[in-house]
A and B are shown apart, each in its own frame.
Chain A
């Protein structure tokens, strides 16, 4: 059956992938947002210091005797000190002409008004943040524009940023793992009722078609209710076919029983030997037919059940004694004695109906082939494994075809005149195999047939 099921993905995987990839995307977005804010804040901090530095330099600019003098304090630049010794550059321009400082720093772009600008440039092979500001000095000779650029490399800033990024990444990864675990958990709890439903249906015996009655989440109601309806229909149709078989058996067996009973009653009144012989043949044929029908039904049932064993703990001695009691009236008809021997209780785990059928067939055989006043010995034991041994007082198996007797519809050459279908030993062997046991048949050295059923 399983090979016809077409599988398209898995609900569990689909749910997990959706949850995990969603959380991964969210994590990445969050990382960039946090990093952006951090960059902004760090940059603002640097810019503020640069601004302060600029202000202190510009404040130091004065006009002395018509000349511009900038005597800025040491602190103007030392305030920019960092742990990583970022380099600091400055340049002072008077009306666009470099008065002092490093060449190449960008001059203020605007010459109008007092403005401050910040930009990041590539300077001397590294990134640097540059702040510009202007100041107009009014002297005797007119207006002089002083502009100052202060630049600082960004080693410390990027280190801070990297460490923040790293921390955010570590936290992010941690959260991601947590979310992944949570989604696994969530998926499992969602899928579990489905798994439980599957397990409980799988566990059922082949005859259990009762509706599923345990509590289920509301989303599973449509599935379970259609399943219940399906099982209901199946149960009904099985019952109908069982009733049909019962009815069919009834229709066939009842007239057969009528014929047999009439033949039986007539035989008591008929004395002519050829009539008697005819009646006896009739009875024999009816017995053959009904025996074959029973055995075929049993064999079909056993073939079905060996695939769906309904195991339970069985007291083997109880079972054998019960069977011996059931069969004792037949044994008595031939004055045959059935002796059951055992020492200790023997328990096996198996399908009661199958094992009972197998043992019944073995005892049946022993009864059929035993002569009048014979003894059938049955011993039950548990060493080395649970076993049952039946030894009859009959002629034994024909030695030539002893190996073939367990094949379907095979009967021994000495079975002439004894009613049988050739299925008894097959049933016993099939039942043994289904329980990982074995059936051995052989002739006892003191005579009689022996069968050992071990589990």
Chain B
């Protein structure tokens, strides 16, 4: 996945970028309006994160410019203003969603997924592993041409393991990635989700193996 982050605060931008890269995505950073327009004109992005208050103008004018050019790259606004009227006007201007700073990374990811799923009709990249087909944008898994209804956490667990096939994830790491930071979750919860996912993937080319005291790994034959 390729993101563009438009944010004038370098500290915050670094933190967001490193967190996004950690999830295995590519992210470009523009710190002013002018650069943002240049980046969005040259690069192909799956999603844009946009700050509203920028040194050389208002992020809302970027939104307008973007929509006037009939570009449909989804935009999620990162706003420091929490008031309802501000939020409504952002959506009216063509933002797909917004998060209020400071935001929970898990929530940001959830919003990205929701926005991408809504736009999923256009670009279809399907990952095929034997008889398992996965559409990462729409978050749809089908096994032997039959759609599998995954719960959100099962889906995210699957995505996580699939994107780093052959790598072992500890239970702790999986909790960090799947649950919001303010939730208290026991390691048993992870076992439940892994168990369910395994059941869905039974008799396919994808297998989740347990590595004692280390964690889980997804392999494809």
- Please report A residues at the B interface, Cβ cutoff 8 Å: 246-247, 249-250, 252-265, 267-268, 271, 276, 280, 283-284, 286-287, 290, 293-294, 297-298, 301, 326, 328-330, 332-333, 335, 353, 356-357, 360, 372-373, 417, 419
Contacts and interface: CB of A to CB of B under 8 A. Distances in A.
Interface string B142-170: 00000000011100000000000000000
B181 A280 contact: yes
B182 A298 contact: no
Task: Name the 5 nearest CB pairs between A and B, nearest first.
Answer: A261-B15, A257-B102, A294-B82, A257-B101, A329-B110
A204 B42 CA distance: 47
B85 interface: yes
29 contacts: A246-B80, A250-B81, A253-B80, A253-B100, A253-B102, A255-B9, A257-B78, A257-B80, A258-B9, A260-B102, A260-B104, A261-B16, A261-B102, A263-B181, A264-B15, A265-B15, A265-B22, A268-B173, A280-B181, A280-B182, A287-B102, A287-B182, A329-B111, A332-B110, A332-B114, A335-B151, A353-B88, A357-B84, A373-B151
Contacts of B184: 417
Interface residues on B, range: 35 or more
A326 B85 CA distance: 15
B107 A258 contact: no
A326 B111 CA distance: 9
Contacts of A280: 181-182
A295 B148 CA distance: 40
A264 B181 CA distance: 8
A290 B100 contact: yes
Interface in B60-87: 78, 80-85
A267 B82 CA distance: 27
A249 B82 contact: yes
B56 interface: no
B82 A258 contact: no
B175 to A, nearest CB: 10
B82 to A, nearest CB: 4
Contacts of A262: 15
Majority secondary structure of chain B interface residues (helix, strand, loop or mixed)? helix
Contacts of A246: 53, 80-81
Contact of A330 (B9, B84, B110, B182): B110
B12 A326 contact: no
A257 B12 contact: yes
Nearest to A288: B182
B35 interface: no
Contacts of A250: 53, 80-81
Nearest to B112: A329
A353 B87 CA distance: 11
A13 B75 CA distance: 63
B106 interface: yes
B97 interface: yes
Interface string B88-103: 1000000001001111
A334 to B, nearest CB: 8
Given A267-B176, A373-B151, A356 B84 contact: yes
B186 to A, nearest CB: 12
A170 B139 CA distance: 96
A396 to B, nearest CB: 20
B180 interface: yes
Contacts of B81: 246, 249-250
Contacts of B80: 246, 249-250, 252-254, 257
A264 B105 contact: yes
- Of B97, B101, B107, B184, the most chain A CB neighbours within 10 A belong to B101
Contacts of A265: 15, 18-19, 22, 105
Contacts of B19: 261, 264-265, 268
Given A265-B15, A284-B182, A287-B182, A298 B84 contact: yes
A326 B97 contact: yes
A259 to B, nearest CB: 7
B107 A297 contact: no
Given A287-B104, A294-B82, A333-B107, A258 B11 contact: yes
B205 interface: no
Contact of A329 (B53, B101, B113, B182): B113
A271 B176 CA distance: 11
Nearest to A263: B181
B26 to A, nearest CB: 16
A421 B102 CA distance: 16
B209 interface: no
Contacts of B182: 280, 283-284, 287, 417, 419
A254 B12 contact: yes
- Of A250, A252, A290, A356, the most chain B CB neighbours within 10 A belong to A250
